[in-house]
Structure 1
Amino acid sequence: MKLLHVDASPRGENSNSRMLSRYFLDRLSGRLSDHSIDYLDVAAEPPPHPTALFTRAIYTPPAERTPEMVAELKISDDLCRRVLVADALVFAMPMHNFTIPSTFKAFVDNLVRAGVTYVVTDDGRYIGQLNRHKVLFITSRGGDLRPGGQLAHMDALTHALRAAFGFMGVSEPEFVDAQPMQFADHTARKAALSKAMADLDAVANDWVAASSTAA
């Protein structure tokens, strides 16, 4: 299994989402045959935000792109390649102002590419190219945005990720959310982390079982 692991928290070693993503990968380590991990830290190396040239280039047929367009798309092309060659994607991030961090949004903006991560058929249908990928989102949230709670309607992070990656073909992404964290007392934070770890254990077991069956 080729796995792409992306961290998006700017908090470094103090990051809960980073800690949880390492925990998950540790649970997979040694249990998957022929597995490799490609790592990307979009907080340390943020992808560039789209420019006017980028926007023109992605809608220009490859054979008609100028050298400047080709250069402008180089980072995006590389990110798309790394995602497409992977079998599984693990994305870890905090919630920033009820949605995804801006660095991860830039990553998504470089990833949603016509003719690359999705294609448009002659009859106008959009076909995502990530339909074979296992996808796990690991998030940490300062408050409690679980369904049924007072702030549940403000969870734009989950909706944004489901929409963007669903468009690219991911129909059944998995989410493990640690919440509440920053705006909770010690007992609540400890319980949130414990639940997230238990949920990650379950996902790891499922992925190992699926890999064994496929083999």
Structure 2
Amino acid sequence: MKKILHIISSPRMEASASRKLGNAIIEKIKEKHADYSVIVRDLAQNPPPHLDESHINSFFTPMEDRTAEQLENIRYSDEAVQQLLDADILVVETPMYNFTITSTLKAYFDHITRAGITFKYRGNGLLPEGLLKDKQAYIAMTSGGIYSEGELKAYDFTAPYVRSFLTLIGINVAGVFRAEGQAIIGPEVALENGIGSISITP
């Protein structure tokens, strides 16, 4: 059975183009894999806490020495990491907000970046190496402008960042699909183009 982890980061609900595009990717994956299960982590409805000193101290305390309070501090992180470890395929939705990802998605990434679990340091201790090498991911990105090409391409800190982050922890990014140019060609056409571009690897 293929286990799909669906990460939603848009604060919008029914009107969200990234949710619609992400759902379309899920449907395409289902067509490839008849035997599947889907776990949804909606960051708008269950937002991750932004890291503070208590989280950092808990992460850096050896597991056997953590207090009950520290275990509670990293409970969100532990649950999110376990979901990630259990998954075969990730679908990560990310609308572009101010040229980059939502703050909730960044906070989620902070919670799943765990040394010795999702990545390790190698060489002189400064180079990261991803540990999640048996997984693939698809990215659903939406934007008002067109950032995949043209003069705005240099301002796309969304898709490149998500791709680079997932690659850093070892995940193979198999596709980035965009419903872009909503403010130019209209949201319906942009979404139709994005859905039409979806291609799932075997």
TM-score (norm 2): 0.91
Give a deviation string over 1:173-215, Cα, whole Å, max 9, x none: 421011111x2243xx444222211221x22xx2xxx2xxxxx
1: CA distance between counterparts of 2:144 and 2:31?
A: 33
Higher strand share: 2
User: 1:110-166: CA deviations, max 9, x gaps?
Assistant: 11111111123475353212211110110101111122x121111111232123222
Q: How many residues of Structure 1 are paired with residues of Structure 2 in the alignment?
A: 200
Partner of 1:213: none
Note closer, same or farther for the CA distance 1:145–1:54 as it changes in structure 2 (3 Å cut).
Answer: same
- Give the stretch that moved more between structures: 64-73 or 22-31: 22-31
Percent identical pairs in the alignment equals 29
Deviates more, 1:149-158 or 1:113-122: 113-122
Aligned to 1:136: 138
The verdict on how the C-alpha distance between 1:3 and 1:190 changes in structure 2, with shifts beyond 3 A counting, is same
**After the TM superposition, which of the residue ranges 131-140 and 22-31 deviates more from structure 2?**
22-31
Q: Partners in 1 of 2:102 and 2:148 — Cα distance?
A: 19
The unaligned stretches of length 5 or more in structure 2 are none
Unaligned runs of 5+ residues in structure 1 are 211-215
- Structure-1 residue corresponding to 2:87: 86
RMSD over aligned CA atoms reads 1.8
Give the drift of 1:29: 3.0
- SS of residue matched to 2:184: coil
Conserved 8 A contact 1:6-1:42? yes
Distance 1:171 1:27 in 2: 18
Task: Say if 1:27 and 1:122 are closer, same or farther in 2 by CA, change over 3 A.
Answer: closer
Question: Does residue 58 in structure 1 map to residue 59 in structure 2?
Answer: yes
Q: Is the 8 A contact 1:58 1:114 kept in 2?
A: no
Question: How much has 1:30 moved relative to structure 2?
Answer: 5.4
Tell me if structure 2 keeps the 8 A contact 1:162–1:173. no
Is this contact kept in 2: 1:89–1:136, CA < 8 A? yes
Counterpart of 2:178, as a letter, is D
